[in-house]
Chains A and B, each alone.
Chain A
Amino acid sequence: MNKIWWKILGSVLVLYTAIAGLLLGVPHLAILNETIRNLYFHVPMWFAMLTLFSISVFYSIKYLLYGKESDDIRAIESVNVGIIFSILGLVTGAVWAKFTWGQFWSFDVKQNFTAVAILLYFAYLVLRNAIDEEQKRAKISAIYNIFAFPMMVVLIMVLPRLSDSLHPGNGGNPGFNSYDLDSRMRAVLYPAFIGWSIIGYWIYTIRFRIRTLENKQNL
């Protein structure tokens, strides 16, 4: 995957969402007003995080199957980048909430559970640093990662939908369909999902390459 075309594709998609997201028409809603455009920037952060954590779990399984060291490095580096995106998602969400729900943190179900999910992945990093022996560390953290991933999906996607939440699409309604996500918004949101995922993947490959070089030097 050292070709350049997908990097250009990601850049073009993100650029497109920045321009179209600010200029194209959006539904007129009370309270939300123009902040509905935040949907194009806040939600793709979470999608990029999900993509990166999925990559991580893929390589954790691969590590347990074949025991290659590079798979372990891939797993940890994609979690590292995924956490950056989750923090960006959390902060942009808090700012958005301040001006629509009234508080930075209103202890909404989804807010609380995403914070817990991020803590799950912080625990993954702490676990890795706590074990000195390399193969043991790789194996234990791979197993932890495989368990943390479905927990994270349940915390972020399932549990908030079972109870009342300030987030749209909760309380039994799937996704944004119940909300005013019309076709104009889909035309920006879906490219944003793909674009930010590609950018996240790109940063992850850079981190992976740096880490491989570091390991080579320390030998």
Chain B
Amino acid sequence: MKKIIFALMLLLSSVQLFAQSNDVEMADALRSNGKIYVVVICIVIILLGLLVYLFSLDKRLKKIEKKSSDKN
């Protein structure tokens, strides 16, 4: 009986090892390569934010240009 239990325990522990070696697919692309892509995201956010802001400024300026051309 003891031997069987011991064998079972060994078997179970090997199952655990097997599970560990199995690659579990996780969404950790952003954590790869030393998390450098987090920096990339932050730079993209800053650039996007400033570009969107630039577009809104451009729109305002266009309105003024239209108005001044109407007057003349």
Interface string of B19-42 (1 = CB under 8 A from A): 000000000001101111011011
Give the bracket for the number of chain B residues in contact with chain A. 20 to 34
- Residue from the list B30, B31, B49, B60 in contact with A210, Cβ < 8 A: B60
| Inter-subunit contact B61/A34 (CB<8 Å) | no
**Within 8 Å of chain B (Cβ to Cβ): is A134?**
no
Chain A's closest residue to B68 (CB) is: A217
Nearest-CB distance from B8 to chain A (Å)?
38
Given A45-B46, A88-B45, A210-B61, also A35-B39 (CB < 8 A): yes
- B-contacting 9-mer, from A68-76, A91-99, A152-160: A91-99
Given A210-B61, A210-B64, A213-B64, also A41-B39 (CB < 8 A): yes
| Inter-subunit contact B38/A95 (CB<8 Å) | yes
| Inter-subunit contact B46/A92 (CB<8 Å) | yes
Give the bracket for the number of chain A residues in contact with chain B. 20 to 34
- Residue from the list B30, B46, B60, B67 in contact with A99, Cβ < 8 A: B30
CA distance A174 to B36 in the complex (A): 28
| Inter-subunit contact A41/B38 (CB<8 Å) | no
- Residue from the list B35, B46, B60, B61 in contact with A35, Cβ < 8 A: B35
Nearest-CB distance from B60 to chain A (Å)?
6
Residues of B whose CB lies within 8 Å of any CB of A are 30-31, 33-36, 38-39, 41-43, 45-46, 49-50, 53, 57, 60-61, 64, 67-68, 71
Residues of A whose CB lies within 8 Å of any CB of B are 18, 22, 32-35, 37-38, 41-42, 45, 84, 87-88, 91-92, 95-96, 99-100, 203, 206-207, 210, 213-214, 217
